[in-house]
Amino acid sequence: MSEAIKNRYEFTILFDVENGNPNGDPDAGNMPRVDPETGYGIVTDVCLKRKIRNCIETICEGKPGYRIYVKEGVPLQRSDKEAYTYLGTDEKDIKKMKTNDPELDKKIRDFMCQNFFDIRTFGAVMTTFVKNALNCGQVRGPVQLGFARSIDPVVTQEVTITRVAITTEKDAENKKTEIGRKYIIPYALYRVDGYISANLARKVTGFSEEDLQYLWQAIINMFEYDRSAARGNMAVRELIVFKHDSELGNAPAYKLFDTIHVHKKDGVVAPRSYHDYEVTVDEDKVPEHVTCTRMI
């Protein structure tokens, strides 16, 4: 594996949606997530990580060390068993083996981190190992995202749709169309801030410079390879990266994020495109020993 990163990073992503549902809430009929107090739109960190995972799986298909642990159709226990196979044991003998090998936890953790990009990046809770009283079951990843929030309050629209295909023979005797509903946001620009700890990368997962470049590529393209009817017009518009000169960092994260300003252009009341906004970075206010790069 490549050497772990040596610099701390913070980054900000701006992405938008047009006539779509960026993150439906299953507890609310799949309506777009909205903060009920302010009306601002929300997209969860889990949703964004899913997009990044899917993108990595696409651009790194078949590349050793870049498999995805949390993925559809693959039980986590199945992937966990690979570590036991690698060590030449199984769940039944693991406690006995741990008694004889104090480094067992580290060996399992390192195996999982080396083989699965998302464990190396975001960390993971590996229930199989937790149940067997192994300390490697919970891995804290160096890359963390918050919730994305829209720049302005959003308006959710319920759109009635019809189809000519009837579900059952009985229904076909009485009607010629069926009615359904879908929820959209006409337009919204979202912002999410992220953090990368070089300290955790070195001590825990081994997240490397090569991993970092793939992460930037996946963030930039996370909606390009994941189109659907609900998310047809979504795009990452900005990726602003702050690189510290050291492992532990040279400035508080909030000071860096405060240099980014997003606001509507003069005369715009209801934004309907990214061009209705202006994005600026006060680079002269970025602290010493921190470099700001606008990657898009």
Using one digit for the tens of pLDDT, what is the confidence trace for 44-74?
A: 999 999 999 999 999 999 999 999 999 988 8
Tell me, yes or no, whether 177 lies in a domain. Answer: no
For residue 117, what pLDDT band results from cuts at 50, 70 and 90? Answer: very high
For residue 1, what pLDDT band results from cuts at 50, 70 and 90? Answer: low
| pTM exceeds cut of 0.95 | no
Tell me, yes or no, whether 172 lies in a domain. Answer: no
Q: For residue 291, which phi and psi values (nearest 5 degrees)?
A: -110, 135
Tell me, yes or no, whether 162 lies in a domain. Answer: no
Those residues whose C-beta lies under 8 Å from the C-beta of residue 152, and which sit 6 or more positions away, are 40, 188, 189, 264, 271
Tell me, yes or no, whether 163 lies in a domain. Answer: no
| CA separation for the pair 24, 181 (Å, rounded) | 13
For residue 98, what pLDDT band results from cuts at 50, 70 and 90? Answer: confident
Tell me, yes or no, whether 86 lies in a domain. Answer: yes
Tell me, yes or no, whether 144 lies in a domain. Answer: yes
pLDDT mean across residues, the chain: 92
Q: What is the pLDDT of residue 128?
A: 75
Q: What is the pLDDT of residue 181?
A: 83
Stretch 9-36: mean pLDDT = 95
**For residues 76 and 173, is the Cβ–Cβ distance under 8 A?**
no
| CA separation for the pair 242, 260 (Å, rounded) | 11
Those residues whose C-beta lies under 8 Å from the C-beta of residue 82, and which sit 6 or more positions away, are 111, 115
- Residue 198 belongs to what domain range? 9-156+182-294
Please state the domain count of the chain. Answer: 1
Tell me, yes or no, whether 188 lies in a domain. Answer: yes
What's the maximum distance between 2 C-alpha atoms anywhere in the chain? Answer: 74
Tell me, yes or no, whether 176 lies in a domain. Answer: no
